[in-house]
Amino acid sequence: MDKTTQNGMFRPELQSLSSVPIEITVSVGRARPTVRDLTQFGVGSVLMLDKQVDDPVDLYVGDRLIGQGVLEVSEEDGRAQLSVRLVDIAELKDAT
């Protein structure tokens, strides 16, 4: 059952939930070091990931993939801020 109206707004019975904050996790990649490698890590060690710099990052709410994006640097209050530009968004209907 769709939780939005035709114009993308929440149906009235769900409107109160629309301002509830959620946490989105941005996954830039995974690493699989051995335990031996892990015990030898120190300040300055480099952990190689399974993705290239230009590969899209995955966005999750909990363990559910909700989209993909690319990392960017944005300016906010005169400071460089890491950000994600969305390039693909999953259909956000009931997960069954």
The CATH code of the domain that includes 39 is 2.30.330.10
- Within a domain: residue 4? no
For residue range 74-96, list pLDDT tens digits in order: 998 899 999 999 999 998 765 54
Average pLDDT over residues 6-24: 75
Tell me what pLDDT residue 92 has: 72
Q: How far apart are CA 27 and CA 84, in angstroms?
A: 11
> What separation, in Å, do the N-terminal and C-terminal C-alpha atoms of the chain show?
11
- Within a domain: residue 11? no
Q: Is the pLDDT of residue 72 over 80?
A: yes
Contact 53, 59 (CB under 8 A): no
Q: How far apart are CA 42 and CA 4, in angstroms?
A: 50
Tell me what pLDDT residue 91 has: 83
The count of structural domains within the chain is 1
The residue among 74 and 10 whose pLDDT is bigger is 74
Contact 59, 67 (CB under 8 A): yes
Structural domain that includes position 63: 17-89
The residue among 60 and 9 whose pLDDT is bigger is 60
- Within a domain: residue 95? no
The residue among 95 and 43 whose pLDDT is bigger is 43
- Within a domain: residue 53? yes
Q: Name the residue among 50, 53, 56, 81 with its Cα closest to residue 68.
A: 56
- Within a domain: residue 7? no
Tell me what pLDDT residue 14 has: 72
